Amino acid sequence: MGVRKRERAEAIKEANKSLAFGKLNNCPTSPRKMRLVADLVRGQKVGHALNILRFSQKEASRKLEKLVRSVLANWQAKNPDASMEDAGLFIKEIRVDGGMMLKRLRPAPQGRAHRIRKRSNHVTVVLGQTDNTQVNS
């Protein structure tokens, strides 16, 4: 590995120390339904996002709330001496991608069949800290 490449890799690694991420794979909800909930919390502070997800009526919000709590636990494992309130954590990035699709057949009139696609999704959540309150660990 060249010097420039190693220096760039070390800079990226140092920048990622303040980030925590989590991933939920093959969640059995369509990506469109999950994106509706993800758009509600994108860019919000973590405490406010958890409140939004807790009181949302959508089923996808329950799964997303569990994922955000998991990412928060990942951040606390990285920074055991820091508190969430002082760190200024917010949802930096939330991505919903299409996952595996189960294909089923439903009987239709006159001996035909219609294809049913049961969609799933992959959700990635990245927490970041506001720049003025970086935690040195």
Superfamily of domain 19-133: Ribosomal protein L22/L17 (3.90.470.10)
Tokens at residue 3, please?
Answer: 């010097």
- pTM score > 0.85 for this model? no
pLDDT in tens, the chain (137 residues): 789 999 999 998 888 777 889 999 999 999 999 999 999 999 999 999 999 999 999 999 999 999 999 999 999 988 888 887 788 899 999 999 999 999 999 999 999 999 999 999 999 999 988 866 445 54
Cα–Cα distance for residue pair 99/40, rounded to 1 Å: 21
Ranges of each domain in the chain? 19-133
Tokens at residue 63, please?
Answer: 């799964």
